[in-house]
């Protein structure tokens, strides 16, 4: 929800923190701040608003130090304001803390601290950490933080420093991610990999219950009780250029255009064309395990749950097993029933979504076999699931998920094929047809992207509508859900998605000339059914835009606007149909002047409940 960055090293600390915060801004952007320490003591700058506001403020009134912490906030406790912005200080002003997550027992801690005459200045739960560290401080920041952690409950990533124990940053993790980049003579701490890559590819991923104490000599790792830990330092192969816009106006547009490569990269090394087989050994799901799986449960949130829906259809059609999709936020509180032969697939771009992680832990506690699909190497979900299939989408910076959706569908297709081949559920020829078509998808997506200008023109005509309906059936019902979500989250236009056949049960009452319908209607087994649904809309003066096969010459007689996509295997149409919907949402939002990459009220990674 929030972004934390910290730096100790020879570089000028404020620019390093600002650069890091810009890269973390997708996690929260309603206020930001930095604290630096050095010869001049502790200096703070906090603002309401984005990192750019912080940068401007610092340019007018520079502060200097040799090490520091920064924070970009997505409000949970206390509205966005300068006062509630991090870093937070103790009564003396000698200790500062930044925090991502929620301190669940902060009210009782606050009462206790108030009784001990600590003075609170903000509405945040974070401030209790600063006062706790103050309460326990006896000369060692490390020990004081450790004592504070012992009484804190909830999910948190915390960073602290104090001029009373100078030259040191202490960080701790229980829940939200925290990474420590270990460079040559410098250490950078961050909530994700992106700020670190500008300085070093060498990274330690803190686990829950672990701390790092960082000084000029580098990081030292312990558990919350103080026991030293030997951390593995991993080398990350992402290139820092991947997190630049590279000439695109927004990250979201760049990421939409990266989709052909994302499909190629996610397939790479996982297909054996000679054999017509997929290779899933990296997941630990060998043929014997796969053969024994009789049911799949797919758990996710948001866009990842839409990919899960596509996966459900793929698993049913290709692998011939029942598959259910569950919202992680609901499933974790259910009295769910899992058979011994069920495979639970958790899907999360960030690998850190609190609900998905909690659902994973709940199913694991029942002994279920689990597999994660995630884009974040060594994320919490990747580390805790029984097996992992990484989506090789590269960093996704736009808050609205686009390329990771496509990468997740690619990974799910591989899993469905793997299950099909292990169980002999579909013919080799049938599987080969899908595999061959999977490999043609990048080229077909490129073809759609080549027509982006036409979709931009369309956006001009439709940008002023206040409501949209998205319709799809069968494997494209989830694409309708995803198209509506994209439009809602970045343009703030009200959009609803329905399975075509549900229209007549209520939503059709909404149809009039003020509510256009975006229909996904490739030539598949439900084509005629969708045509009937569209006829019902036309009969009620509804305007229809249709994503349809480019060789469907008849569709123009039934709808107002045709958005052509190349024909493909019926099960793979979501890969193509979603692209014009992403572009449509993007261009409408951009034309309405919306903040496309950082839409209001949203954060990229939802690490709190
Ligand atoms: O990181 P995850 O895939 O677990 O995130 C799940 C959702 O929070 C995410 O897909 C969200 O819905 C995005 N805003 C979609 O664009």
* pLDDT above 70 for 241: no
Task: Name the nearest CA neighbour of 584 among 510, 502, 500, 480.
Answer: 480
* pLDDT above 70 for 1: no
Q: Is the CB of 301 under 6 A from ligand 1?
A: yes
Q: How far is CA 155 from CA 353, 469, 533, 580, in A?
A: 12, 38, 47, 38
* pLDDT above 80 for 240: no
* pLDDT above 80 for 76: no
* Separation between Cα atoms, residue 347 and residue 351, nearest integer Å: 8
Dihedral sign from CA coordinates of 443, 447, 448, 449:
positive
**Domain made up of 254-446: CATH architecture:** 3-Layer(aba) Sandwich (3.40)
CA of 316 to the centre of ligand 1 (A): 24
CA of 303 to the centre of ligand 1 (A): 5
pLDDT at 544: 97
Do the first three CATH levels of 3-243 and 254-446 match, i.e. the same topology?
A: no
Dihedral sign from CA coordinates of 473, 477, 483, 489:
positive
pTM score, two decimals? 0.77
pLDDT at 428: 86
Q: Any catalytic annotation for residue 2?
A: yes
* pLDDT above 90 for 599: no
**Domain made up of 3-243: CATH architecture:** 4-Layer Sandwich (3.60)
CA of 347 to the centre of ligand 1 (A): 10
* Separation between Cα atoms, residue 510 and residue 512, nearest integer Å: 7
pLDDT at 506: 87
Q: Is the CB of 526 under 6 A from ligand 1?
A: no
- pLDDT digits 0-9 by tens, 527-536: 999 999 999 9
pLDDT at 29: 76
Q: Is the CB of 402 under 6 A from ligand 1?
A: no
CA of 2 to the centre of ligand 1 (A): 15
Q: Is the CB of 400 under 6 A from ligand 1?
A: yes
Q: Any catalytic annotation for residue 604?
A: yes
Strands (E), 375-453: 387-390
Least confident of 35-39, 314-318, 466-470, 507-511: 507-511
H helices of 296-402, in order, are 302-314, 328-331, 354-365, 380-384
Question: What atom in ligand 1 is closest to the CA of residue 605?
Answer: 1
Phi-psi region of 214 (alpha: psi -120 to 50; beta: other; left: phi over 0): beta
Q: Is the CB of 483 under 6 A from ligand 1?
A: no
Task: Name the nearest CA neighbour of 162 among 133, 186, 191.
Answer: 133
The answer to whether the beta carbons of residues 54 and 33 sit under 8 Å apart is yes
* Of the ranges 186-200, 224-238, 257-271, 558-572, the best mean pLDDT one: 558-572
**Domain made up of 450-591: CATH architecture:** 3-Layer(aba) Sandwich (3.40)
Q: Is the CB of 302 under 6 A from ligand 1?
A: yes
* pLDDT above 70 for 207: yes
Best residue for ligand 1 mutational test, from 353, 397, 479 (most atoms within 8 Å of Cβ): 353
**Helix count and strand count (H, E) for the chain:** 19, 26
The H-or-E segment that residue 297 falls in is strand 295-300
CA of 160 to the centre of ligand 1 (A): 29
Q: Is the CB of 358 under 6 A from ligand 1?
A: no
Q: Is the CB of 603 under 6 A from ligand 1?
A: no
User: In this structure, which residue's CA is closest to atom 9 in ligand 1?
Assistant: 302
User: In this structure, which residue's CA is closest to atom 8 in ligand 1?
Assistant: 302
Contacts of 110 (CB under 8 A, 6+ apart): 120, 127, 128
Q: For residue 451, which phi and psi values (nearest 5 degrees)?
A: -105, 20
CA of 173 to the centre of ligand 1 (A): 22
Q: Is the CB of 348 under 6 A from ligand 1?
A: yes
259, HSE (Cβ side, Cα atoms, 13 Å): 33
Q: Is the CB of 599 under 6 A from ligand 1?
A: no
Residue 160, strand partner residues? 97, 170
- pLDDT digits 0-9 by tens, 249-269: 999 999 999 999 999 999 998
Best residue for ligand 1 mutational test, from 302, 395, 398, 586 (most atoms within 8 Å of Cβ): 302
Contacts of 186 (CB under 8 A, 6+ apart): 7, 8, 9, 10, 11, 199, 200
CA of 357 to the centre of ligand 1 (A): 13
Average pLDDT over residues 324-346: 92
**Domains of the chain by residue range:** 3-243, 254-446, 450-591
CA of 401 to the centre of ligand 1 (A): 6
Q: Is the CB of 374 under 6 A from ligand 1?
A: no
pLDDT at 159: 97
The answer to whether the beta carbons of residues 35 and 13 sit under 8 Å apart is no
Q: For residue 66, which phi and psi values (nearest 5 degrees)?
A: -110, -10
- pLDDT digits 0-9 by tens, 483-521: 999 999 999 999 999 999 998 898 888 888 899 999 999
CA of 86 to the centre of ligand 1 (A): 25
- Nearest 5°: the CA angle 442, 447, 448 is 100
Q: Is the CB of 303 under 6 A from ligand 1?
A: yes
* Separation between Cα atoms, residue 219 and residue 211, nearest integer Å: 10
Contacts of 430 (CB under 8 A, 6+ apart): 318
Q: Is the CB of 31 under 6 A from ligand 1?
A: no
Question: What atom in ligand 1 is closest to the CA of residue 408?
Answer: 3
- Nearest 5°: the CA angle 354, 360, 361 is 90
C-alpha of 212 from chain center: 25
The answer to whether the beta carbons of residues 52 and 74 sit under 8 Å apart is no
Of 2, 45, 301, 543, the catalytic one is 2
The answer to whether the beta carbons of residues 192 and 168 sit under 8 Å apart is no
CA of 350 to the centre of ligand 1 (A): 8
User: In this structure, which residue's CA is closest to atom 12 in ligand 1?
Assistant: 302
pLDDT at 382: 92
pLDDT at 69: 97
- pLDDT digits 0-9 by tens, 412-452: 999 999 999 999 888 888 999 999 999 999 999 999 999 99
Q: Is the CB of 354 under 6 A from ligand 1?
A: no
Question: What atom in ligand 1 is closest to the CA of residue 399?
Answer: 14
CA of 554 to the centre of ligand 1 (A): 37
Of 50, 312, 423, 604, the catalytic one is 604
User: In this structure, which residue's CA is closest to atom 16 in ligand 1?
Assistant: 400
Best residue for ligand 1 mutational test, from 354, 375, 407, 606 (most atoms within 8 Å of Cβ): 606
- pLDDT digits 0-9 by tens, 120-168: 998 888 899 999 999 999 999 999 999 999 999 988 999 999 999 999 9
H helices of 218-339, in order, are 251-257, 259-267, 287-291, 302-314, 328-331
* pLDDT above 90 for 81: no
Q: Which residue has the tokens 């040559």?
A: 184
pLDDT at 276: 76
* pLDDT above 80 for 77: no
Q: Is the CB of 350 under 6 A from ligand 1?
A: yes
Task: Name the nearest CA neighbour of 518 among 549, 480, 555, 553.
Answer: 480
What is the chain's mean pLDDT, rounded? Answer: 93
């Amino acid at each position: 929800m929030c972004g934390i960055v910290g730096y100790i090293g020879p570089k000028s600390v404020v620019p390093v923190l600002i650069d890091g915060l810009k890269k973390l801004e997708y996690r929260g952007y309603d206020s930001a701040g930095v604290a630096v320490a050095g010869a001049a003591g502790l200096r703070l700058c906090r603002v309401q608003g984005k990192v750019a506001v912080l940068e401007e403020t610092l340019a007018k009134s520079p502060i200097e130090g040799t090490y520091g912490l920064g924070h970009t906030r997505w409000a949970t406790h206390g509205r966005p304001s300068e006062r509630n912005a991090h870093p937070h200080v103790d009564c003396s002003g000698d200790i500062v803390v930044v925090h991502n997550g929620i301190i669940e027992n902060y009210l009782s801690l606050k009462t206790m601290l108030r009784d001990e005459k600590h003075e609170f200045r903000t509405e945040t739960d974070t401030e209790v950490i600063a006062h706790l560290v103050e309460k326990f401080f006896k000369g060692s920041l490390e020990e004081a933080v450790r004592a504070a952690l012992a009484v804190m409950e909830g999910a948190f990533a915390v960073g602290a420093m104090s001029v009373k124990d100078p030259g040191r940053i202490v960080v701790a993790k229980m829940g939200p991610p925290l990474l420590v980049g270990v460079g040559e003579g410098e250490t950078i701490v961050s909530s994700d990999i992106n700020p670190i890559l500008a300085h070093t590819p060498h990274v330690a991923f803190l686990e829950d219950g672990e701390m790092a104490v960082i000084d000029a000599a580098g990081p030292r790792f312990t558990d919350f009780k103080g026991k030293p830990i030997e951390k593995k330092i991993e080398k990350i192969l992402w290139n820092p250029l991947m997190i630049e816009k590279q000439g695109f106006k927004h990250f979201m547009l760049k990421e939409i255009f990266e989709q052909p490569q994302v499909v190629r990269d996610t397939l790479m090394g996982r297909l054996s064309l000679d054999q017509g087989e997929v290779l899933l050994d990296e997941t630990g799901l060998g043929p014997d395990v796969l053969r024994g799986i009789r049911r799949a449960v797919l758990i996710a949130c948001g866009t990842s749950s839409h990919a899960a829906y596509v996966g459900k259809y793929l698993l049913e059609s290709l692998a011939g097993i029942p598959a259910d999709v569950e919202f992680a936020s609901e499933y974790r509180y259910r009295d769910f029933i899992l058979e011994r032969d069920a495979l639970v697939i958790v899907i999360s771009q960030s690998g850190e979504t609190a609900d998905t992680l909690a659902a994973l832990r709940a199913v694991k506690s029942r002994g279920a076999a689990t597999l994660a699909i995630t884009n974040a190497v060594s994320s919490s979900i990747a580390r805790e699931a029984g097996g992992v299939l990484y989506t090789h989408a590269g960093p996704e910076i736009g808050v609205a998920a686009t390329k990771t959706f496509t990468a997740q569908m690619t990974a799910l297709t591989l899993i469905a094929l793997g299950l099909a081949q292990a169980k002999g559920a579909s013919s080799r020829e049938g599987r080969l047809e899908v595999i061959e078509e999977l490999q043609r998808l990048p080229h077909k997506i490129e073809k759609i992207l080549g027509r982006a200008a036409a979709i931009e023109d369309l956006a001009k005509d439709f940008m002023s509508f206040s409501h949209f309906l998205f319709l799809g059936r069968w494997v494209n019902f989830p694409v309708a859900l995803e198209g509506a979500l994209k439009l809602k989250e970045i343009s703030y236009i009200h959009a609803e998605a329905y399975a075509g056949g549900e229209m007549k049960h209520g939503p059709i009452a909404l149809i009039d000339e003020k509510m256009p319908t975006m229909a996904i209607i490739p030539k598949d087994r439900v084509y005629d059914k969708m045509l009937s649904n569209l006829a019902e809309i036309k009969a009620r003066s509804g305007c229809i835009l249709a994503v349809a096969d480019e060789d469907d010459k008849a569709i123009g007689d039934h709808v107002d606007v045709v958005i052509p996509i190349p024909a493909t295997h019926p099960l793979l149409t979501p890969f193509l149909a979603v692209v014009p919907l992403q572009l449509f949402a993007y261009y409408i939002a951009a034309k309405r002047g919306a903040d496309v990459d950082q839409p209001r009220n949203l954060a990229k990674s939802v690490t709190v409940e």
